[in-house]
Every structure is written in structure tokens, then in C-alpha cells.
Amino acid sequence: MSGTSEDDDLLAAEYVLGVLEGSERDAVLHRADREHALADAIIGWENRLAPLAVLVPPVAPPLSLWPRIAATCGLSEAPAAAARPAQAGSIWGRLGFWRGTTAAGFALAAAMAALVILRSPPEKPLQAPGIPLASAVLTPPKGSTPFWLAAAGPNGAVQFKPLQKIAVAVGHDLELWGLPDGEKVPKPLGLITPEGKTITLPASMHAPMEIMVSLEQKGGSTTGLPQGPVLWLGHMDAPQSSGNG
């Protein structure tokens, strides 16, 4: 992280993960107001870990949960939304808090694991300590269900992992495309299997960019442009700069 020591970068990660409490958290907030490098590190970790929160499908809590919480906390009344009978069209609003806390809990656990990996001795390029990652979650053009997670590491390496079971029609292949911000023509990045793949971006291509996966004939497009439908796409922000300069 540019201008940020390794200890402060780790402190920023802990702040974003929510593992700091009380005076420790207040101290980080106070420093971030005065130290731009620490504030930038916090923003960098927020951007890096945010995609984890969308990987969790919504789960409705059991109806008995709120009465148990109310009884434990000594609350005399349940929230108005919880007290009303279920109504079509309003369920997502009532469950928004629970969906958010469920996703946040999963994201926290996953992000803690990611933090440990980033601070461990390097075994693979994407696990090198101190190397910030850019990421993108790929969803259908007219949907929100995440199907792929793309994680960018050093030297232009991008790892694609499926988040759902992917099936490809016989006689077809999936092809990756990159469209850097400000450009109008996507560039081919190669074929990808349903099990995922790690690719190396050309030197001329880098984030921020749109990443797309199209369904093509066997062997991929022959024109250098998508010929089949784009099945999934997502935006990858620019990776945070590294180093202490």
C-alpha cells in the first residue's frame, strides 16, 4: 500500500473486518482523519473485501428467532415489521437486516481467511503477502445471482472461480472478454472451463475494466468479437498500488 507501513495496512484490514473494538477502533478512526495513507488503506481493504458480501444467498430466519432475542434482551415489544403478518412484496424489506447480518458473518469469516493467506509466506502468485487484489463478481446481464469470482493478483494474473455449477451445451465453449474502461471494443482473453481458470492479462490490458463470459462455438469466436450471447459480466476496479513509496 503506497505510503502505508505493513503494520498499518494490517491495522486497516482489521478495522474493515470489524475485529477492533472500543478504544482501538476509535484510535484508528482518529488517525484516519489525520493520516491520508491510513485512510486510503482502509478504503482499499473495503473495496477488496466488498465482493465477498454478495456471495451469500439470502436465508430467512426462523419465526421463533425474534421472540427469543426479545426475551433474552428484556424487550417488551417486537419491531412493528416483525409483528405484522407476512405480506407479499414486503418480505425482503423485513428480512433485509437478517440477510445483511448473515452475509456479513460469512464475509467476515471468508475475509479473515483471506487476510491470513495474504500475510502467510507466498506459495502461489495470488497469495503473496502485501499484494492487494482487485476482484469482480460476474452475474447474468439481467440478474444478480453471482456465478463467477475473478481475483486479480500480481503480474496480471487473474483467477476465475465458479460460484455455481456451470453447464456448457455440447459443441460450445465459454470465452472470456475484457473491456477496459473508456474503450468500446472487448478483447478476447481465452477460453474458460466450467471448473475455472487462471489467465494472465496482456500487457496492454488492465483494470478498471468490464469482464464478460460469452457462449461461443467450439474453439471460441473466430472474429475476435463475441459471436454468441454474453452470459455473465462484472466490473473489476483498478488494483490498489503496492509498495511503500
Q: Nearest-CA neighbor of 177 among 153, 160, 163? A: 160
**Domain finish residue from 119, 147, 175:** 119
Q: Could you tell me if 62 and 20 lie in one domain?
A: yes
Number of domain units in the chain: 2
Q: Could you tell me if 111 and 173 lie in one domain?
A: no
Q: Could you tell me if 37 and 76 lie in one domain?
A: yes
Task: Render each residue's pLDDT in the chain as its tens digit; 245 residues.
Answer: 455 677 888 888 888 888 888 888 889 888 988 888 888 888 877 766 766 665 555 677 788 777 887 777 777 555 544 444 444 443 333 334 434 444 455 455 555 555 554 444 444 433 334 343 688 889 999 888 889 988 887 777 888 999 889 999 999 999 999 999 999 999 999 999 999 999 998 888 888 899 999 999 999 999 999 999 999 999 988 776 544 44
Residue 125 lies in a domain: no
Residue 92 lies in a domain: yes
Q: Could you tell me if 92 and 136 lie in one domain?
A: no
Q: Could you tell me if 23 and 113 lie in one domain?
A: yes
Which residues lie closer than 8 Å to 150 by C-beta, 6 or more apart?
Answer: 135, 136, 137, 138, 158, 159, 160, 211, 234, 236
Residue 124 lies in a domain: no
pLDDT digits (tens, 9 = 90+) for 135-175: 888 999 988 888 998 888 777 788 899 988 999 999 999 99
Spatial distance between the Cα atoms of 136 and 109, rounded to a whole number of angstroms: 19
Residue 188 lies in a domain: yes
Which CATH number fits the domain that encloses residue 173? 2.60.40
Q: Could you tell me if 137 and 244 lie in one domain?
A: yes
Domain that holds residue 59: 1-119
Q: Nearest-CA neighbor of 46 among 243, 245, 237, 242? A: 237
Q: What is the DSSP letter of 63?
A: T
Q: Which three cell numbers stand for residue 205?
A: 490490458
Phi-psi region of 217 (alpha: psi -120 to 50; beta: other; left: phi over 0): beta
Specify the pTM. 0.52
Q: Could you tell me if 180 and 239 lie in one domain?
A: yes
